[in-house]
Amino acid sequence: MNYHSLLEGAIELHCHSYPSIFRRKQNDWELIEDVKQAKMAGVVLKAHEANTVDRATLIRLKEPGLHVYGGLVLNEFTGGLSPKTVDAAIQQGAKIIWMPTISANQHCCHFGKKKTRFFNSEKPLENEEKGLTVLDDNKKIKPEVHEILALIGEANIALATGHLSEEEVAVLLDVAKEHHIEKILIQHVDLGIAPVSIEMQKEFARKGAILEKCYLACSEDFQDLSTVQMAQSIKGIGADSCVLVTDYGQDHNIPPIEALSNFVHEMVKAGISSQEVEKMIVQNPRKLLGI
């Protein structure tokens, strides 16, 4: 496989691999082989249903030259909005704490009451009618979320917003700043599950957050916008405030690193400069991971 030359030194912040209860294209080691072949610096392992810190730690023992890291998604699978599980993950070496994804109320509202093979899982999983939210009835951040944010701030690691609604993200961002969280990643802002308006994207960027520009939003699975429109949005926001990610790993899609290579090719074709690409796949990921 001939990967785009701009992938050298890059870090993919958002992809999925096996082990997983969901069908994945590759296992961790197959993903890592692609990372090495593309001469990338590393990758972050993400799982909706499990802590990925231990997996990443074992990979680094065998591949000490790579930046392979994990974290925790605060879904029902992993304890939900639990400060104790966050504390344990941070003590293990988590680099990112993700707010709820498939357990988020926004996610549940998007998918409704469908009984489906959730993300191609082996057995049907019901979408809950109501999911987790970081806000109380008064639209204030819940006490347990304050505790979680305090832990993230003290550890100086990254907070990612998962599948929270735009309203939740707006409140969370301001409160995260109160807890001295410097590394904030607003996830797949263009993806239909939890979209963020371009006006709010710019506002979040002005407040110092980094925005995920996600290839999956341009895929046949979602078709939320074209790669040309994606490039235009990056130009409007500024590459300093963006990262390019794929969110790939689904069994029916191409492997994540191949997808990232294609994404970079499409962005360059659409007018994004090499320097801007480097900022979004090399420099900004390093900043978020504290490298």
Confidence of residue 128 (pLDDT cuts 50, 70, 90): low
Q: Which CATH number characterizes residue 120's domain?
A: 3.20.20.140
What pLDDT, on a 0 to 100 scale, did the predictor assign at position 223? 93
Indicate if the pLDDT at residue 258 is higher than 70: yes
How buried is residue 8: exposed, middle or buried, by Cβ count under 10 Å (0-12/13-18/19+)? middle
Q: Provide the domain count of the chain.
A: 1
What pLDDT, on a 0 to 100 scale, did the predictor assign at position 111? 67
The stretch 248-259 carries a mean pLDDT of 98
Taking the C-alpha atoms of residue 218 and residue 264, their distance in angstroms, rounded to an integer, is: 13
CB 149 within 8 A of CB 179: yes
How does pLDDT run across 150-187, given as a tens digit for each residue?
Answer: 999 999 999 999 999 999 999 999 999 999 999 999 99
Indicate if the pLDDT at residue 29 is higher than 70: yes
Taking the C-alpha atoms of residue 265 and residue 272, their distance in angstroms, rounded to an integer, is: 10
How does pLDDT run across 82-126, given as a tens digit for each residue?
Answer: 999 999 999 999 999 999 999 888 877 766 644 444 454 455 455
Q: Quote the domain boundaries for residue 38.
A: 5-289
Confidence of residue 41 (pLDDT cuts 50, 70, 90): very high
- Residue by residue, DSSP assigns 49-109 as SS--HHHHHHHHHH-TTSEEE-EEE-SGGGTSS-HHHHHHHHHHT-SEEEPPSTTBHHHHH
Indicate if the pLDDT at residue 33 is higher than 60: yes
What pLDDT, on a 0 to 100 scale, did the predictor assign at position 112? 61
On average, the pLDDT of the chain sits at: 94
What pLDDT, on a 0 to 100 scale, did the predictor assign at position 107? 74
Question: Mutual orientation of helices 28-37 and 256-269 as an angle, nearest 10°?
Answer: 40
What pLDDT, on a 0 to 100 scale, did the predictor assign at position 267? 98
Give percent above pLDDT 90 in the chain: 88
Indicate if the pLDDT at residue 11 is higher than 80: yes
Taking the C-alpha atoms of residue 183 and residue 243, their distance in angstroms, rounded to an integer, is: 13
How does pLDDT run across 203-246, given as a tens digit for each residue?
Answer: 999 999 999 999 999 999 999 999 999 999 999 999 999 999 99
Instruction: Give the type of residue at 197.
Output: S
